[in-house]
Amino acid sequence: MLKIGHTARFLQHAPWRWTFAPLEPILHASPWRLRLLGLTAMLGQPLFGWIWSSWLVQPYENPWLRGLMSVLAGLLLLPAMSRDLSNPKTRLLVTLVMWVEIPFFFSWMYLCNSGSAAWLATVCAMIAFYYHLTDWRIATAGIFSGVLLAWALFVWLMPDQLYWNAVDAMVILFSWSCALLLGLSSANLRRDQLVHTLATMGIMAHELRTPLSTAALIGDAVQMEVQRLPAHPRAAKLDQLSQRLHALVRTMNHQIDTQIANARLLQLPRYTEEVCAATLVNDVTSSYPYASIRQKECVSVVIHENFNFCASSSQFSQVLGNLIKNALHSLTAADSPCHPGALRIEVDCVQARGRIVVSDDGLGIDPALLPYIFKPFFSSNRSTGHGLGLAFCQQVVRSAGGIIKVKSNYGAGAAFTIILPIGPC
Q: What is the pLDDT of residues 41-51, one digit of tens each?
A: 999 999 999 99
Above 70 in pLDDT, residue 74? yes
- Strand 299-303, strand 343-350: pairing: parallel
Contact between residue 235 and residue 226 where contact means Cβ atoms under 8 Å apart:
yes
Above 60 in pLDDT, residue 266? no
Give the chain's mean pLDDT. Answer: 82
Report the range of poorest mean pLDDT among 45-59, 292-306, 331-345, 381-395: 381-395
Above 90 in pLDDT, residue 267? no
For range 237-258, the mean pLDDT: 74
pLDDT of residue 340: 82
Q: What is the dihedral of CA 311, 315, 321, 326, to 10 degrees?
A: -90
pLDDT of residue 388: 57
Dihedral class, residue 159 (left if φ above 0, else alpha if ψ from -120 to 50, else beta):
alpha
For range 100-126, the mean pLDDT: 94
pLDDT band with cut points at 50, 70 and 90 for residue 57: very high
Above 60 in pLDDT, residue 386? no
Above 90 in pLDDT, residue 423? no
Dihedral class, residue 387 (left if φ above 0, else alpha if ψ from -120 to 50, else beta):
left
Above 50 in pLDDT, residue 406? yes
Report the range of poorest mean pLDDT among 101-115, 155-169, 345-359: 155-169
For range 185-214, the mean pLDDT: 72
For range 145-158, the mean pLDDT: 93
For residue 346, the number of C-alpha atoms closer than 13 Å in the C-beta half-sphere is: 15
Residue 326 vs residues 116, 202, 347, 356: alpha-carbon distances, Å? 58, 20, 19, 16
Task: Name the more confident of 19 and 422.
Answer: 422
pLDDT of residue 8: 40
pLDDT of residue 357: 95
301 strand-pairing partners = 345
pLDDT of residue 343: 92
pLDDT band with cut points at 50, 70 and 90 for residue 180: very high
Task: Name the more confident of 331 and 162.
Answer: 331
pLDDT band with cut points at 50, 70 and 90 for residue 71: very high
Is-above-0.75 flag for pTM?
A: no
Count of H-run helices and E-run strands, the chain: 16, 7
pLDDT band with cut points at 50, 70 and 90 for residue 123: very high
Which residues neighbour 175 within 8 Å (Cβ) at sequence distance 6 or greater?
123, 124, 127, 128
Task: Name the more confident of 387 and 202.
Answer: 202
Above 60 in pLDDT, residue 15? no
Question: What is the rounded distance in angstroms from the CA atom of residue 45 to the CA atom of residue 306?
Answer: 54
DSSP letter for 335, please: T
pLDDT of residue 355: 95
Q: What is the dihedral of CA 101, 104, 105, 107, to 10 degrees?
A: 140
Highest mean pLDDT of the ranges 85-94, 212-221, 349-358: 349-358
Q: Is 355 helix (H, G, I), strand (E, B) or coil?
A: strand
Question: What is the rounded distance in angstroms from the CA atom of residue 322 to the CA atom of residue 312?
Answer: 15
Contact between residue 73 and residue 45 where contact means Cβ atoms under 8 Å apart:
yes
For range 365-375, the mean pLDDT: 76
Residue 6 vs residues 36, 83, 201, 210, 255: alpha-carbon distances, Å? 44, 40, 15, 19, 21
Above 80 in pLDDT, residue 411? no
For range 75-95, the mean pLDDT: 82
Report the range of poorest mean pLDDT among 123-127, 130-134, 166-170, 192-196: 192-196
